[in-house]
Amino acid sequence: MDFFPDIQIPPPLQPYISHVWFAEGIAGNAFPIFADGRTGIIFQQSGMILGNQEKNLANSFVFGQTLDPIMLHTQPNCRVLGLIFHPHVLPSVFRIHAKELTDECVDMSLIPAVPRINLNEQLWNTVSPKRQFDLLFSYLEKMISPIDKSMQYATSHILATKGKTSLKDLHYQLNLTERTFERRFEQYVGISPRLFSNIAQFQAAIRMLDSGHFSKLSDIAYANGYADQSHFIRWFKKFTGVTPLEHCRNHSILKTGIC
Contact criterion met (CB below 8 Å) for 195 and 202: no
Class of the domain covering 2-141: mainly beta
Instruction: Name the CATH architecture for the domain at 148-259.
Output: Orthogonal Bundle (1.10)
Q: Full-prediction pTM beyond 0.85? A: yes
Numbered ranges of CATH 1.10.10.60 in the chain: 148-259
Numbered ranges of CATH 2.60.120 in the chain: 2-141
- pLDDT by 10s per residue, the chain, length 259: 444 557 899 999 999 999 998 887 655 577 788 999 999 999 988 777 877 666 788 888 999 999 999 888 877 778 889 999 999 999 999 999 999 999 998 888 888 776 666 788 888 899 888 999 999 999 999 899 999 999 999 999 999 999 999 999 999 999 999 999 999 999 999 999 999 999 999 999 999 998 877 888 899 999 999 999 999 999 999 999 999 989 888 765 444 334 4
Pairing of strands 55-56, 49-50: antiparallel
Rounded to the nearest 5°, which phi and psi values hold at 3? Answer: -65, 155
Using left for φ > 0, alpha for ψ between -120 and 50, and beta otherwise, residue 176 falls in: beta
